[in-house]
Each structure stands twice: as C-alpha cells, then as structure tokens.
Amino acid sequence: MKPYQLIPIIDCGEPLIPIPSHLFVLETPHPYQKLGAPYDHRSPFYVRVGVLTALTKARMLLHQVKPNWQLQIFDAYRPLAVQQFMVDYAFREQVRQAGMRFNTLSEFQRQEFLSQVYEFWAIPSSDSKTPPPHSTGAAVDVTLVDEGGALIPMGSPIDEISPRSLPHYFANSPSLEEQAYHQHRQLLGDMMKKAGFHRHPNEWWHFCLGDQMWVWLSQSTEGVNKPQIAYYGGVL
C-alpha cells in the first residue's frame, strides 16, 4: 500500500463530464486504445466537474504566458479494466526491454519487474478505499503543444519508466537543451499548481485534484488548512 492510499474518501458525487475538444488538444485515437485497452463504451477523455474547471483555469494561465500554446490531454479517466491492461502491458515491456522472456522469470525477478512498474502505475485495486488515481476522474496526464500542434520537448515521453520521468531530473544539467526540458516542465507544473493541482512525485506529466494523492501531497506542502479527506473516489 502506498502512503496516499491511507487517506479516507468521502466522494462528493460529482459526475464525470467530457473534456471539450475545442478547448484542449486530445490525443486521438487514444494511445491505450491503439494498444487494445478495453474501454468498451467509455471514453478516456472524461474528468470530474471540478477537475475540468481547474483545467480550464490552467489553460487560461498558460495563455497568459504562451498565448499560442495549448494544453494537450494525453490521458484522464481510466476504467479499472484499462488500468489492469496497462499494468500488464508495462510489465511485459519492462521484461522485453531487459532482454528476458516472461515464461522464464523466477518469482524474484517477477517481483523486481513489478516493483519497477508500480513506481509509476497504480495497482488496479477494486477496493473502494484504494482506487487507482485515474479511475477517480481526478487525475490527468498532460503536456504542452506549440502553435503548430507540435509537442513541446520535455526530455522524456509520457509513461516512460525511468529516472528521466522525475519532474526535476534535468534541473541541474549543464546542457542547454536539457535546461530547456526543465523549464518546460516547470512551466507546466507552475501553471497546473496555480490552478489547484498537485504533481505526482515521480511523473512530470501526472497531475491530480481532490483524490487521495492530492490530499497526501497537500498535507506535505500546505499550511494550517490542510485537507484531510479526498472528495473524489473511484468510478469503477
């Protein structure tokens, strides 16, 4: 169990609503759908009402600094079956990249690979007390695109399981190119924070609002008015 999963949840009952494509860039077809993830009739581009309000504020803040840049939503709502599918996919990819074969792994090796995966992917828990963040409709994976629709370079792709995904990985780099990556990550992070989000400690692209992780991160950064209870639980 991760520390944030100890935060209690009292769901406020807000519905999931669609992210408007005229305000945000949506990656379509969705990358996980292209892999075969089982969304069925559900869309990945849904969030809770309050999360969309905050995203709209983040968009406004971005335009104050970079008028022609846009916020791209890579991923948002993730049904539990999709979470399980992507954990399994990430596990297989880690094994493949290590040059090993799944059916020859020892139990120790299997657990080592799983621990790598779970540093970035939440356990696909069906327990209402420990929902995966993306299954609450309160977590979003976001990045920036320029006026021509090109991705702003961030130094690593979304979902990469490596130290490069840490938000401040390039902070002290002597490379001008890598310093630009850091500045872009800082711009994204500052804009989202001002809109009310907190960023995942291990992922430059993952932001949350109102879920267990958000409360846990708030408690370590905010003053006397620290939230104690998450108000977005699982929509499984």
Asked whether the beta carbons of 90 and 120 are under 8 A apart, the reply is yes
Residue 6's alpha-carbon distances to 117, 128, 183, in angstroms, are: 21, 12, 33
Task: State the catalytic residue, choosing from 93, 107, 147, 203.
Answer: 203
Q: Under 8 Å CB-to-CB from 93, ≥6 apart: which residues?
A: none
Q: Give the Cα separation of 5 and 212 in Å (integer).
A: 6
Burial of 142 (0-12, 13-18, 19+ CB in 10 A): buried
Q: Give the Cα separation of 211 and 220 in Å (integer).
A: 15
Q: Give the Cα separation of 219 and 226 in Å (integer).
A: 5
| Closest to 211 measured CA to CA, from 7, 52, 14 | 7
Q: Say whether 147 is catalytic.
A: no
Q: Give the Cα separation of 12 and 109 in Å (integer).
A: 41
Q: Which two tokens stand for residue 216?
A: 């846990």
Catalytic site positions: 203
